[in-house]
Amino acid sequence: MDSQWLAAFKGKFTGNIVNSNDQFRELIEAYAIGSLDAPERAQLEAHLASGCDDCEKALQEARWLVSQLAYLAPNAEPSDMLKGRLLQTVRAEAAGSAARRQVVGGAGIPSWLWAGVAALLLFSLYSAWIAHKMHDEVAYLQQQAKIEQAERERLEAELGAAKTQAHEAMIWSDPKSKKIMLRPKDPKMPDLEAMWHPDMGLVVRGWKVPSPGEKRMLQLWLIPKAGGKPMPSMTLWPDANGKFSAMVENPPDTMSDTQALAITEEPIGGSPQPTSAPMWVGGVS
C-alpha cells in the first residue's frame, strides 16, 4: 500500500489502481452511473457494507465523475416564469417562517415593545379618501402587478425611476387609495404620510426626516389585526434633505387585515422582526 500511495502521490497512477484481490473495484463506475443489474449491485453493496475503504473512495470519485456527464445535455434555458414562480413561493415561505419564528421562538418581540402601539393609535386614527381621475396607465400597471415579483423587479429596473414615480403618483392620487397618517413617537419628528391602494400598493412619504444612525435604516411594518405579529415590509432611506418616497406594490396583507403601519429603525438591509421600538405608527382600519 505504501508504494501505491507514493506512486499516486507522484501522479503516476490514475487513482483507479485495481487490487487484484478486489474484483468489486471494476463495478464501481457502473454502480455510480446506476447501470448495474440487480445481482451485481447487491453483491457490491454487500461488499461496500463490509467496509472496503478502497471501493468506498473509488465510488466517491466515480460519483463525481458521473455527475459531469450532465454537460453532455444540450444547452437550454428555463423560462422566466419558472424563476418567478420559484421566487414567489420562496418569498412567501421566508415571510411565513419569519412569522413562525416570532411565535415559536423565544426570540420574538417583547410584548412591552408593542404595547405602546395601541396608545399611539388613538392619536393617529385619521384617514381620508381623495377623489382623482384615473390615469391612462392604471390598466397597464395593474397588469404588471400580477406578474411575479422577480419579473416585476426586472421590468421595474428597466422602466426606471420615472415609471416608479408615475406609479407612486397614481397611488397617491387614485380615489381608491386610503390615506394613512403616521404620527411620530418623538414630537420633534415630522408626521409621515402613507397612501394604500387595494390593487396598486402602498406608498409612504416623509419630509425633513433626520438620517437614521450609522449603518441603520428605517423599516416599515404591517401590524395585523387579531394580535398578529408585525409583518416586515420595505426599508426606507431619507435623502440629504430628509425626503423619501417609497412604494410596496404588493403588501403581504390586505388593508382590511391590517390594523396599523409602524416604522422602526433597523440595521442596513432590514430585519425579519423589529429590533427597536416603533418611531411612527398610523392606524389603517
Partner 1 sequence: MFLAVFSPKGSGEVSPDATLMQQLLRRDVGAFEELYERHSRIVYSLVLRILRQGSTAEEVVQDVFLQLWRNSAQYDLSRPFVPWLLTLARNRALDQLRLKSERQRRREEQTEQFPQIASAAPEYEQALDEKRRAERVRLLIGSLPIAQKKAIELAYFEGLSHSEIAASLKEPLGTVKSWIRSGLLRLKESLRATS
Site residues, partner 1 (CB under 8 A): 1, 4-5, 7-9, 11, 13-17, 26, 29-30, 32-38, 41, 45, 57, 60-79, 82-83, 85-87, 89-91, 93-94, 97-98, 150, 272
User: Which CB atom, from 36 or from 284, has the smaller least distance to Zn ion?
Assistant: 36
CA distance 223 to 62: 54
Query: Least Å distance between CB 243 and partner 1?
Result: 27
CB distance 232 to 194 below 8 Å: no
**From 17, 22, 159, 189, residue interacting with Zn ion (rule: CB under 5 A):** 22
Decide which of partner 1, Zn ion, none touches 22; Cβ closer than 5 to 8 Å per partner kind: Zn ion
Q: Does 24 bind Zn ion (CB under 5 A)?
A: yes
Least distance between Zn ion and beta carbon 58 (Å) = 8
Contact status, residue 234 vs residue 220, Cβ threshold 8 Å: yes
CB under 5 to 8 A by kind: which of partner 1, Zn ion, none does 130 bind? none
Q: Which residue's CB is nearer to Zn ion, number 55 or number 194?
A: 55
- Is the CB of 86 or the CB of 134 nearer to partner 1? 86
The three grid cell numbers given for residue 166, joined into one nine-digit string:
408615475
Integer Cα distance of 190 and 176 in angstroms: 26
First to last CA, the chain: 78
Give least dist CB 258 to partner 1, A.
22
Residue type, 255: M
Taking the complex as a whole, how short is the minimal distance between the CB of residue 163 and partner 1, in angstroms? 22
Only one residue has cell 408593542, namely: 114
Does position 52 bind Zn ion by CB under 5 A?
A: yes
| Contact track, Zn ion, 59-78, x by CB under 5 A | --------------------
* Angle at CA of residue 179, ends 173 and 184, nearest 5°: 130
Cα separation, 46 vs 154, whole angstroms: 53
Spatial separation of the C-alpha atoms in residues 183 and 217, rounded to whole Å: 18
Provide φ and ψ at 48, rounded to 5°: -65, -40
Q: How far is the CB of 109 from partner 1 (least distance, A)?
A: 18
What gap in Å lies between CA 46 and CA 123, rounded to an integer? Answer: 75
Contacting positions for Zn ion (CB under 5 A)? 22, 24, 52, 55
